[in-house]
């Protein structure tokens, strides 16, 4: 029964989205019957069903795509009814032509799917009734799309800021933990290089999930009146994500250096111990940064007490290590770039 898993999803649309869809279908149905006198306004109901989207911006795009597909399908079905005799083979032939036409015209996915569907329905319902029949279907579709857009405007969709903030915070703490692991390896000398590098590389997935959450947030703010107060916070979160991306690249580099070049003979070197301490300070600065953002946003009323100093002055190396200068030099450069990225975001204040 493993195939049943393909029919279900773990995350469903919120009830607000479901309710808006139901209301849009009812409003489109009633409006089409009142304005056009259509007994069963199927096209209006389908348009309302498909056009209601999580954001107003997406609704406009879906409405335009669906309307274009319906218009193309109506025209194709009407021309076919004029030139060809009615019959099931004609419906099949027009459907195939519609698919090819959508491909050649490079239509958007919704318009490309709607073009053959509209042509089939029109031929089945009676496109031969004349051009007025097809024109009514276009108007009916526009009514359904307009009703869906109106519902989305009246019932303002929520801004997807909380999921983006949650993903950002989880990523930041995962990055801080990675720097702590590097620090522990440098200070203790107990290094599992393969595990250290694998854990650091796994941070890329955190960055990708956070990027997707930020994209969903920005999409939900388009043409959304509730998003005006979030512009500065979104811009700040974008800067934070850029900082975390740099930090992920640097901790991957540090983990790779430790995995490839670290050995017990360098474990007691004072510069290596200072690098470990600086790695812990970077982890501490990342946690302080996201906590300060939470305080500024009003999501918390107090700043958590975090033990340990913030970033300090850069490490000075008076003389390169005769044997492990590559190891120390690579770690110093990664630490320098991580420090500069955090200071640019204000974490070193």
Among candidates 335, 211, 213, which has minimal Cα distance to 281? 335
User: pLDDT at position 303, please?
Assistant: 46
User: pLDDT at position 348, please?
Assistant: 47
User: pLDDT at position 12, please?
Assistant: 52
Q: Are 69 and 118 in contact (CB under 8 A)?
A: yes
pLDDT per residue as tens, the chain (349 positions): 455 555 554 555 567 677 888 888 899 999 988 888 888 888 888 878 877 766 666 667 766 777 778 778 877 887 887 777 777 788 888 888 888 988 888 888 878 888 888 888 877 776 555 566 667 777 888 888 888 878 877 776 666 677 888 888 899 999 999 999 988 888 777 777 788 889 999 999 999 999 998 888 777 777 666 666 677 778 888 888 999 999 999 999 888 888 877 776 676 677 777 888 888 888 988 888 888 777 776 555 454 544 445 555 666 555 555 566 677 778 878 888 888 888 876 654 4
User: pLDDT at position 298, please?
Assistant: 59
User: pLDDT at position 9, please?
Assistant: 45
Distance CA 250, CA 272 (A): 17
Contacts of 23 by beta carbon, 8 Å cutoff, 6+ apart: 151, 155
Q: Are 65 and 108 in contact (CB under 8 A)?
A: yes
E strands within 201-278? none
Where are the alpha helices (H) located in 189-230, listed in sequence order? 193-201, 203-221
Contacts of 24 by beta carbon, 8 Å cutoff, 6+ apart: 48, 49, 51, 52, 144, 147, 148, 151
User: pLDDT at position 6, please?
Assistant: 55
For residue 188, count other CB atoms closer than 10 A to its CB: 10
> Any idea where the domains of the chain sit in the sequence?
15-154, 161-344
Distance CA 292, CA 304 (A): 9
For residue 193, count other CB atoms closer than 10 A to its CB: 16
Specify burial of residue 97 (Cβ count, 10 A radius: 0-12, 13-18, 19+): middle
CA atoms within 13 A on the CB side of 99: 6
Angle in degrees, CA 169, 201, 211, rounded to 5: 40
């Amino acid at each position: 029964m493993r195939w049943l898993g393909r029919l279900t999803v773990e995350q469903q649309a919120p009830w607000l989205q479901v309710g808006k869809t139901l209301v849009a279908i009812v409003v489109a149905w009633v409006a089409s019957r009142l304005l056009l006198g259509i007994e069963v306004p199927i096209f209006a109901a389908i348009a309302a069903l498909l056009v209601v989207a999580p954001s107003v911006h997406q609704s406009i795009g879906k409405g335009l795509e669906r309307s274009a597909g319906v218009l193309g399908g109506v025209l194709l079905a009407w021309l076919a009814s004029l030139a060809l005799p009615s019959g099931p083979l004609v419906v099949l032939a027009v459907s195939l032509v519609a698919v090819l036409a959508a491909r050649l015209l490079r239509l958007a996915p919704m318009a490309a799917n709607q073009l053959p569907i509209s042509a089939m329905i029109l031929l089945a319902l009676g496109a031969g009734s004349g051009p007025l029949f097809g024109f009514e279907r276009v108007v009916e579709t526009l009514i359904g799309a307009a009703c869906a857009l109106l519902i989305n405007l009246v019932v303002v969709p929520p801004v997807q800021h909380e999921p983006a903030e949650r993903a950002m915070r989880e990523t930041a703490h995962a990055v801080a933990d990675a720097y702590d692991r590097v620090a522990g390896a440098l200070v203790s000398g107990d290094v599992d290089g393969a595990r250290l590098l694998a854990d650091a590389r796994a941070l890329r997935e955190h960055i990708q999930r956070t990027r997707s959450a930020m994209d969903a947030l920005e999409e939900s703010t388009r043409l959304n009146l509730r998003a005006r107060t979030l512009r500065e916070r979104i811009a700040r979160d974008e800067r934070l994500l850029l900082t975390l991306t740099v930090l992920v690249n640097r901790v991957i580099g540090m983990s790779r250096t430790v995995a490839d070049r670290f050995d017990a003979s360098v474990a007691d070197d004072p510069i290596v111990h200072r690098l470990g301490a600086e790695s812990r300070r970077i982890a501490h600065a990342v946690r302080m940064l996201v906590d300060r953002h939470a305080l500024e946003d009003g999501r918390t009323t107090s700043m958590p007490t975090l033990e340990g100093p913030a970033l300090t002055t850069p490490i000075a190396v008076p003389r390169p290590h005769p044997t492990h200068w590559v190891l120390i030099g690579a770690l110093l450069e990664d630490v320098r770039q991580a420090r500069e990225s955090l200071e640019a975001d204000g974490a070193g204040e």
